Amino acid sequence: MTKVAFQGEKGAYSEEAIHQFFGPEVETVTCLNLEGIFEAVESGLADYGALPVENSTAGSINKAYDLLLDHDLRVWGEIIFRVRHALLAPAGTTTDTIQRVRSHPQALAQSERYLSNRGWAPETAYDTAGSARDLAANPEPGVAVIASRLAGQLYGLEELDYGIEDTMYNYTRFFVLSFQDPPRAQRNKTSLVFCARHQPGALYECMGEFAKRGINLSKIESRPRLNRPWQYIFYLDFDGHCQDPVCEAALMGLLRRSSFVKLLGSYPAATTPMPGRQLADEDNTSSWEVIL
């Protein structure tokens, strides 16, 4: 059975994202931190790792990108997961009796309007799934939690409401990590890291290798180079596969114009599951099928 590592407790949103990509029968491996995802795959404890790299509202996860630079795993796939929050409580709890709602600060912030409209006091916890596990083990009168639907199923809590987040457009993007390269798909994306030379026009010339060949850049972001103060590296995503002739030519041009290039991987591009466009498939695995 396929094993996939993720950071967090059982029932975390990362585990829901893994089910979306691999199916409900996949075996998951919990890790204490993001470094543990890489260690699990590199040691053979897991076949793949699911690494969160950015959120549509909170931005990039800098630690994840630093780890991609430090390790040699390949980006094997991409998951775009729509985060949907569930209101969970022990059996017998009703919304009329709730006074406090506990969760990770980010989940509370993303449901702030929902909680405020009902007069419920937010309480911070270290983790969404962990708050669900702890409440199930030690029920408290008047207390509910915000966590994933999967967490409610795993820990035996009742789902009192679902989709309580204030914005529908809350997505987390994951890289699926592996030692292997994936098969080529109809739509591919490539991710890499590079460092431009420290001279006028250097970044402009690097970007020009893609622009003059009509290659669409879907992301570019700078990060400090940790071992060289005041120098910066750039994380870049573009549409296409590194073995496509036009992309290969652009990469060769980038190699000539930059001081450092690391290819993170070429992989099948994911489709963003837009709210209201899913088929009648909103089941317990939170899998999505998008009408194209």
Given 38, 81, 174, 234, the catalytic residue: 174
Contacting residues for 154 by C-beta, under 8 A, at least 6 apart:
10, 11, 129, 132, 133
Question: Is the torsion defined by CA of 15, 17, 22, 23 positive or negative?
Answer: positive
C-alpha distance from residue 199 to each of 125, 194, 203, 260 (Å): 47, 15, 9, 14
Helix, strand, coil shares of the chain as percentages rounded to 5?
A: 30, 35, 40
Given 172, 190, 210, 238, the catalytic residue: 172
Query: Helix, strand or coil for residue 146?
Result: strand
Q: Is 172 a catalytic residue?
A: yes
Query: Helix, strand or coil for residue 26?
Result: coil
Can you tell me the distance from the alpha carbon of 80 to that of 268, in angstroms, rounded to the nearest whole number? 12
Q: Is 57 a catalytic residue?
A: no
Can you tell me the distance from the alpha carbon of 244 to that of 247, in angstroms, rounded to the nearest whole number? 5
**62-70 vs 34-43: helix crossing angle, rounded to 10:** 30
Q: Take residue 45 and report the two structure tokens written for it.
A: 């404890």
Can you tell me the distance from the alpha carbon of 229 to that of 128, in angstroms, rounded to the nearest whole number? 36
What positions carry a catalytic annotation?
172, 174
